[in-house]
Structure 1
């Protein structure tokens, strides 16, 4: 009996998933879209993964509800039944009631009504349709999306195609180590542009690792369970010798190139673990996923161990590059050839600077082995592995791409328009966190740092935000308990990727329609002056006008919590630094990193800003007193009541909305800062045992005389207003004493001219 090809089995499974959608929507597919049979390997895989023959799509339960790291979720949530929009997809948040499926059924019926025989044989088109309409419907188990079940089945069946009776598979895991060192440690004019280019470049490097593995192992895109944030996971065949040799060859080729061109700042850890086929449908799969990840940690502790001679070889030293500081490049030239005083830079840094100027509105990328094309791209990136060069050509529109061959691949950036996937059988979406606003000074370029700072309210400063998910490794390793099947792990990865790579773009561009109800925020402004330097995996680095960056941080946290059903075990921590336009960007990145680190050290689920670190609820407004330390609650129990406005944002918002006349506002803020400084100095003396006092008395009651004096200095028409009463009483409350510095600093920056 002839063995099916990888394409045959992937196509069969995807066609069957589309047929499920068609039957559910009441669509009669044309005769050329009727399957001719089912290979044995497809039947085997469907049985292992619990594919329900004759089943119908149902409402999709929230997979995040199943994550439990000790606290766990107490409510049941469902995803809204929606299709992914063609572009800028809106964030749809889970709800507690099962959704109405009828509107989505109508959309599916319309989309599948025009499907053709050519579409039926086009894996790219069918996969996109499946992702577009099957991401928020369950099939089989209630928390497994149709798209995740079908893609997982496709991955396993494709891996088994060459060995249908095998009882083993391989899990390839990869990690680009050193991303932060490569991206952030640069200094020079135009650093913002260069950082964004470096982030984009690393996305393509990771993509090329994936492409090299797929080509060498005769695998397809469904085999890629996850690729993003510098990490990749691919399901491959159980041919241990072939897979191991291929992984070693790919790892060696990339690390040779990375060492030669980037001084070893980036290292590719790539390894493989074999596991039983049957594990894909059981909770034991998660253990193999974790074991594969642990193997990467071992490699990262021995970076470039096969290149010791090259690392220790004596090299000629030249004038260091003023951007990345490497001193092994003799060919230094001005970073910006159009500016006479531009710093001298190496070839790589000049390439990144040039690339940074080409990324605005890049919507299509052609991967090819051809350097020269009939149509000129706006930019090209070369990845040279030994004697083999791969070119990524950048275009503003997919229609600009010339006819492509079987060996070439087209990537469409954040694009779900079905018609764009029809011309070429090798077209796939590329998810990128790439929001940025166009410069008014340099049309066709992203806004420069000075432009963004000039749009800020109050002081002209830039903000730099770093955030990432807390305990993501544990979430994948332990969170799903005995339900860590391949489809669920794939679903968890997909939903995280969509939030950080897709939905954050929409949140930045269209704030009001992407925020959940009952958001806590200072203003209703659109806050568009942001630039994504990096967003992917489970973290982000964003710059922009300082006040907009802070509001964006608050939005991201609240949106992420709503997106994950407010599961107490799935949280974010982050930090913001606020700097002058001329402040070196690499130092700003380090400052925001330290703010984020301080937040993580505060028990996670925290935010660092203005030199302070508090739980997010303390920033947004405290509703549950248990957020406060138990000993402090006991100490303050003598208070008759808790304040009406409790936390940083509620008081900042109330004071900002009160429209204090500028001189009064400055005096008020100055007194708050003096109070906070007095607290700090007295607490330091207690800590150093210079004074014998209860630190809690200083922390929570020292402010009262100064606050009473400050409030008394306000004009009576403000002080005695009914709507100002909550501000007056809340500021006097000892519960708000820890937040004075943050409140005062925020208001001071808003009022600074």
Structure 2
């Protein structure tokens, strides 16, 4: 039996739970003999699945570990049984004989309901459950809600899930009927389970239903493959299985990888040609992360199910304890490839931590994750230290070139013998680009309308195993790096005409929900869904023609316009901002995520729960954020026919980086924070902070990224009070002012008749609407001036008494700026009455004045930021 076979058994060992809840009968009779053989009815149904829907060539080897994992009859049965127990951190997975139609929780409890975050937990009466729907980027599928009260509806949902899964499993079986390729089948099945069992609780009868069948099954598969090694014999298994929570036996190796140098690699490029190149560079790092993870799996002879997570420049996988010795050679191979092609700009640190059986119980897995991170940091401190002395000497040897302007790339600044000058438009000045930047631009262009991603496993031994470091040779482009790791990757706008017949394994992944329907598995091609935020503003022909006629658009920028159907330059996004013409740069991530993984689950932390939390966070940032960007693009278009104004540089893991028209970028930040609360089941301790920088289109990108980073750090350093309690983070820094989201506002003000006058967002919309309706613009300037007085008073106060004194003393926030603002609003009411006969504007000014007089002491702070925001938004209108 191969490692893929036992991994497949681990993956399918509990599929009978879905069948049981869907009332599938199976072809066995649940009588005394079957009960003695299988132990539980779901195990009997899992065996039915294997016999009916697994390709015939693998049934015999998979049937036993799947059907008998509760009543093991062989060593491999026991391996799957132990993997099952370690994955769930329970010796019996919390199961008795499940009664699917009894009155107990039947939906998957949101993993966020289990977290202790910011020393806050959700009470039981506020628990929220996920809908029983296939995985799609739809609110009806992703967002938790109260549990369905109609039991019959629940069972209908299970029946629909099972029937859709069964049909696709049948298609997959038929694709591998003639011979079959087990690694390809295994990956397709894992992706299929993700789609249909991500929302199905692994156990709910006498168990907490917070782990999905998908997360539990994939972790069981990973552990089964790690346990399938010679020293794990019957005696070993009997010893560990007797008391796994006490056993010091090493059962697996937790491996982690971290790519460093990411920020500098992406952002240290000039504005010339940056727009497509930037996207290509960012996407390449996502490809590189997965390629490195797949390379490590391949070198350790492990199946794809052993990959726990890959994204955001990090990956984690489970290996065998003995694989620790192999990581040094793998690290050296990876370093040679990256040094050869990136000249030290990127480095991947790989480390491993052996896991004992007892580490899977009593929340110890979170501590193990923390120790692994420490080991990774130690490797990063010895960057390239794994290379031999001859190779290290090349790092400090003088290069045989330098100072050749004709060979210097005007995008990245590096010299290359194959640097060529290219024109973006017919009238544009030529720009010198090295092969790597040309390739990144092509990759960015290919992503514009890409609907699928095709991975191809190259034949033969990967070059990384045999490469000799020679820094006198010019570096290659991103495709050569991936090829050295044994892979090729291509974004596709159209599907290939025919399936691969070259003998090369492929993985074809849909980048949107609708594209998934067109995919069919084949003998050599695994298919599934890849979550990916592909928000790219494309310049249409009509838009280009309009810009050519727009005299307010600078002439030099008109000459540099790319052809239609290419990525919009930053200059266009800046020009199409509402009000003042600026780019907005947004950086945002989840607060205290490391602490959530290490301490948030407490004693309930298990491998499956950690995997579930990781999947849940990435699903939001790699999936739902794309929907939010699309909605903001639609809602903020001015005029309506104007195309997209947001550009996703990166969104994944727990963070994001967007560039775009500044007004759209701010609204995106508001939407991301607003929906995060609903997605996280309303947990008050799950929140995100962000920073927004406003810059000109020619402002150096690396500096804009640093400005946004500093703004984000300012938000994360904020201390504030709410209802008498001290708070930290959960803030946004905008216009150089950090404010809590609670005061900034996350409501959809554009759809409200009366904005919320207690938040910056609501006040901004109110002020902007008043100006548009006839209120004097001088109102905004006066409020901004008064706000300046307020900020100066705050600065002086903090110099003499400290930050905490200002935060804790509301009386300090009262000053002449308040009564002067009230007086100004009163005067504006009179001016409106004389000029515009607008009773509505007068009434709204009166309401704003009343709110300022009666509101809390900090309201003026919000009003000042809102006035500045509204002033920028209405400039030129």
Scaled by the length of structure 2, the TM-score of the pair is 0.74
CA-CA distance at 1:435 after TM superposition: 1.8
How far 1:117 moved relative to its partner? 5.3
Deviation (angstroms), 1:351: 1.9
Does residue 311 of the first structure (1) align with residue 395 of the second (2)? yes
Return the offset for 1:203: 0.8
Note the 1:666-685 alignment, pairs <5 A: 666-684=777-795
Of 107, 112, 129, the residue aligned with 1:64 is: 112
Q: Which residue of 1 aligns with 2:439?
A: 351
Q: Could you tell me how far apart the structure 2 residues matched to 1:353 and 1:112 are?
A: 39
| More moved, 190-199 vs 414-423 | 414-423
Q: What is the distance in 2 between the residues matched to 1:23 and 1:302? A: 53
SS at 2:351 equivalent: strand
Secondary structure at 1:497's aligned position in 2? helix
1:321-336 superposed matches below 5 A: 321-323=408-410, 326-334=413-421, 336=423
For residue 33 of structure 2, what is the aligned residue in structure 1? none
In structure 2, relative to structure 1, the CA distance for the partners of 1:109 and 1:386 (3 Å cut) is closer
Show CA shifts across 1:406-443 (max 9, x none).
54222414356377252245345433222223221344
Counterpart residue number, 1:640: none
2:268 to 185, 202, 216: 185
| 8 Å CA contact 1:90, 1:506 repeated in 2 | no
The unaligned stretches of length 5 or more in structure 1 are 372-379, 516-520, 623-642
Of 313, 322, 342, which residue of structure 2 is paired with 1:230? 313
Q: Deviations over 1:58-82 (max 9, x none)?
A: 3111211222145222334232323
CA distance in 2, matches of 1:604, 1:527: 34
Select 1:119's aligned residue among 163, 166, 172: 172
Given that residues 512 and 529 in structure 2 are in contact (C-alpha distance below 8 angstroms), is that contact kept between their aligned partners in structure 1? yes
SS of 2:567's equivalent?
coil
User: How far does the alpha carbon of each residue in 1:506-526 deviate from its partner, in whole angstroms, 9 at most, with x for none?
Assistant: 22224699x9xxxxx999x99
Sort the Cα spacing of 1:322 and 1:587 in 2 relative to 1 into closer, same or farther, 3 A.
farther
Matched-pair contact (CA < 8 Å) for 1:18–1:126: no
For the Cα contact (< 8 Å) 1:283–1:481, is it kept in 2? Answer: yes
Classify 1:425/1:271 alpha carbon distance in 2 versus 1 (closer, same or farther; 3 Å): same
Secondary structure, counterpart of 2:446 in structure 1: coil
Aligned to 2:701: 585
Partner of 1:59, secondary structure, is coil
1:706, distance to aligned residue in structure 2 (A): 2.5
Name which of 196, 215, 218 aligns with 1:148: 215
Residue aligning to 2:53: 33
1:611 alignment partner in structure 2: 736
- Structure 2 residue corresponding to 1:731, chosen from 852, 861, 868: 852
- For structure 2, list consecutive stretches of 5 or more residues without a partner in the other structure: 27-47, 66-75, 177-184, 237-248, 461-476, 545-562, 719-727, 748-754
Compared with structure 1, are the counterparts of its residues 401 and 73 closer, same or farther at alpha carbon in structure 2 (3 Å cutoff)? Answer: farther
How many angstroms does 1:685 deviate by? 5.1
Whether 2:217 is the aligned partner of 1:92: answer no
CA deviation after TM superposition for structure 1 residue 271, in Å: 0.8
Aligned partner of 1:555 in structure 2 is 671
Q: Does 1:466 align with 2:587?
A: yes
The residue aligned with 2:539 is 439
Larger Cα-atom Rg: 2
1:74 counterpart residue number: 122
Deviates more, 1:158-167 or 1:320-329: 320-329
CA RMSD in angstroms comes to 3.4
Q: CA deviation at 1:83?
A: 2.3
Q: 1:194-343 alignment to 2 at 5 Å?
A: 194-239=277-322, 243-280=323-360, 282-307=362-387, 308-316=392-400, 317-319=402-404, 321-323=408-410, 326-334=413-421, 336=423, 341-343=429-431
The 3 A distance-change label for structure 1 pair 23 and 177 is same
8 Å contact kept, 2:256–2:352: yes
Aligned mates of 1:86, 1:398 — CA distance in 2:
21
- Alpha-carbon deviation of 1:130? 1.7
Q: What does the per-residue CA deviation read over 1:584-622, in whole Å, with 9 as the maximum and x for residues that have no partner?
A: 222221211111111111131110001110111110179
Instruction: Assess if the C-alpha contact under 8 Å between 1:573 and 1:600 holds in 2.
Output: yes
Residue in structure 1 matching 2:198, options 120, 135, 139 = 135
> How far apart in 1 are the matches of 2:398 and 2:740?
51
Write the distance in 2 (CA, Å) between the matches of 1:469 and 1:587. Answer: 23
Please tell me whether residue 22 in structure 1 is matched to residue 70 in structure 2. Answer: no
Give the corresponding residue for 2:72.
Answer: none
Which gives a bigger RCO, structure 1 or 2 (Cα 8 Å, sep 6+)?
A: 1
Cα 1:529/1:392, change in 2 over 3 Å: same
3-state secondary structure, aligned to 1:144: coil
> Whole-Å Cα distance in 2 between the matches of residues 85 and 644 of structure 1?
35
The alignment partner of 2:211 has SS state of strand
Quote how far apart the aligned CAs of 1:688 are: 6.3
Task: Give the corresponding residue for 2:519.
Answer: 420
Task: Provide Cα deviations, 1:350-397, integer angstroms capped at 9, x if missing partner.
Answer: 2212222221122122324279xxxxxxxx951348977632233223
Q: Deviations over 1:683-735 (max 9, x none)?
A: 44556679xx9997674222134313321134134588445432121234443
- Pair 1:47 & 2:85 matched: yes
Deviations 1:9-62 (A, max 9, x none): 222233333333233223457853376322321123223434447545931112
3-state SS in 2 of match to 1:508: helix
Does 1:369 find its partner at 2:458?
yes
Q: Distance in 2 between matches of 1:336 and 1:575?
A: 35
Q: Residues 386 and 111 from structure 1, CA distance in 2 versus in 1: closer, same or farther, beyond 3 angstroms?
A: closer
CA distance in 2, matches of 1:265, 1:90: 43
Match of 2:874 in 1: 751
The one-character-per-residue Cα deviations of 1:545-577 (angstroms, maximum 9, x if unpaired) are 211111110000111122112323322110111
* Contact residue 185 and residue 586 of structure 1 kept, 8 A: yes
1:709 is matched with 823
Could you tell me how far apart the structure 1 residues matched to 2:358 and 2:705 are? 45
Give distance in 2, aligned partners of 1:401 and 1:294: 47
Specify the SS of the correspondent of 2:64: coil
Q: Distance in 2 between matches of 1:386 and 1:495?
A: 31
SS at the partner of 2:777? helix
How many residue pairs are counted as aligned between the two chains? 710
Distance (Å, rounded) in 2 between the aligned partners of 1:530 and 1:229: 20
Report the Cα distance in structure 2 between the residues aligned to 1:497 and 1:401, rounded to whole angstroms.
33
TM-score by length of 1: 0.86
Change (3 A) 1:102 1:69: same
**The one of 744, 762, 766 aligned to 1:654:** 766
| Residue aligning to 2:507 | 410
